[in-house]
Amino acid sequence: MTFSFSDCLDINTILADVLVAAGDEKQKNFTKGWYQRQIKDGLDKMNYQSPFLPTFTDIPLTSNLIIPVPSGVFDTIDLFLWNGGTDCDGVCKISDAVRLFHKRGMMTKGKTFGYTARNVSTMSDAFLPVPYLYDSSTYFYNIVNGSYMLSDICADYDNLRIVYYGVPKSIDVVKFIPPFLKQFLIAWGVERAFYSLKVRDDKWIKHWQIADADLYQRKGTEPSKFDSAQSLLKRVDTKEWNDLSEYLSQLYF
């Protein structure tokens, strides 16, 4: 299947339609970051491998150890802590560095406030009796609401190096989503919104059932939006992926 990268869409274009379809134009139910995350999850569900280039950026640690994910980040590859200055010309020398490990479900209000997670060294869990990450010896993080949340021990370092796939500008405005994924991503975002709402209140169950059917059920002889997107994505030819990769790489220069 052939398409032009000039026809590609950005996340905000998809988001605008999701908000209308979900009846949440003013984003009272969920934040913009939450909706953007759902769109990203939808792309992951399709195994969509965007041809972004691996790159990195260095950010001084904040006092509360909560750092907003920078613009341009599509997929986080790795996080490292390091000491040294960032206000110099060229590449600054890194005196030492450690790697951060992802702790699933970790949430905190910041340094010294403690955190919650399913696996905590001070918490007894019948199914996870031995914590796999100890507070006092392991540097760990989680990503919540568009921010990296770091464990208290990370305060021993000066900077955070974020290694990621992305572009050197706001990811919101970069057109990288093939046009044939639009209807699937809108339906996906709406279904995710109503699914989360029904967990809070039973009044949303009917809305979720309709959204779920719109995403996964066939309409007569027509495939579902989910199946159609999967089928079309498999038919994209190599030449188009190469063109899109070259287009995105030009943003660095």
Q: Are residues 26 and 40 in the same domain?
A: yes
Domain count, the chain: 2
Q: Which of 166, 194, 226 is the last residue of a domain?
A: 166
Strands 147-150 and 96-99: unpaired
pLDDT: which is higher, 16 or 251: 16
Q: Are residues 117 and 184 in the same domain?
A: no
pLDDT: which is higher, 87 or 159: 159
Can you give the pLDDT at residue 82? 93
Q: Are residues 41 and 57 in the same domain?
A: no
Predicted confidence (pLDDT) per residue in 106-155, tens digit: 888 988 888 888 777 666 666 656 555 556 678 899 998 789 999 999 99
Predicted confidence (pLDDT) per residue in 184-209, tens digit: 999 999 999 999 999 899 999 999 99
Separation of alpha carbons 48 and 181, rounded Å: 10
Predicted confidence (pLDDT) per residue in 32-76, tens digit: 888 988 998 898 888 776 666 778 889 999 999 999 988 778 788
Instruction: Categorize the per-residue pLDDT at 240 as very low, low, confident or very high, splitting at 50, 70 and 90.
Output: low
Residues near 219 by beta carbon (within 8 Å), at least 6 away in sequence: none
Q: Which of 166, 187, 204 is the last residue of a domain?
A: 166
